[in-house]
Chains A and B, each alone.
Chain A
Amino acid sequence: GQNIDQPTEMTATEGAIVQINCTYQTSGFNGLFWYQQHAGEAPTFLSYNVLDGLEEKGRFSSFLSRSKGYSYLLLKELQMKDSASYLCAVRERDYKLSFGAGTTVTVRA
């Protein structure tokens, strides 16, 4: 099973940077994913880490430390459209994903 923790809510100002942390415990790590979910919509893929280090994709970056069971998602140059829920998900060796409860990010003007 999984134990995946992330903050419930975060608020930031347009143009700022926000970092969403995720900690996890797993018996067989096989990748970590971040998804974005706007209210009333399906989750959509943002990033994937399987090795330690930083993955950068435009304004979004994701970091992984397998030894610490830790990841973060970094959102830069925040825009109003980034207001959404961000889900951390861990894949185990059986390839099923387990999800954290999600972090709701509110971007203020």
Chain B
Amino acid sequence: DAGITQSPRHKVTETGTPVTLRCHQTENHRYMYWYRQDPGHGLRLIHYSYGVKDTDKGEVSDGYSVSRSKTEDFLLTLESATSSQTSVYFCAISELPDRRGYTFGSGTRLTVV
């Protein structure tokens, strides 16, 4: 399996606090993605990166920012966490062309109280 790890795996935080989730890959893939998964909505794209320091917004980017200073790391920051951001967050990587689409990390379960 591809080397992709997410940290932390679980986190509980308070409303209004900043939170950073980390995605680390050892595959040297160019593309990295952050999704959130909620019941009834499936996976929705938050932000993605197509290279170091090259990032763009997805469909649900409000309240989130990202950074990619190295090929292997893609950080997702919730600037001021809200209860609506309680979700499971998945990082994914890909290299084109890729018949598998994406390879996913194990996910981070974030609860905002």
What is A's interface to B at a CB cutoff of 8 Å? Answer: 1, 31, 33, 35, 41-45, 48, 87, 89, 91, 95-102
Contact = CB atoms under 8 A, between A and B. Distances in A.
Q: Which secondary structure dominates chain A's binding surface? A: strand
Nearest to B31: A95
B71 to A, nearest CB: 17
A43 B96 contact: no
B74 interface: no
Given A99-B43, A101-B40, A45 B107 contact: no
B102 interface: yes
Given A87-B43, A100-B42, A101-B40, A45 B105 contact: no
Interface of B: 31, 33, 35, 40-45, 48, 58-59, 90, 94, 96, 99-107
B100 A98 contact: no
A56 to B, nearest CB: 15
Contacts of B59: 1
Contacts of B40: 101
Contacts, number: 49
Contacts of B33: 96
Given A1-B59, A41-B106, A99 B101 contact: no
A15 to B, nearest CB: 29
Given A41-B106, A101-B41, A101-B42, 15 more contacts: A1-B59, A33-B100, A33-B101, A42-B90, A42-B104, A43-B102, A45-B101, A45-B103, A48-B100, A89-B101, A95-B31, A95-B96, A99-B35, A99-B42, A101-B40
Contacts of A98: 45
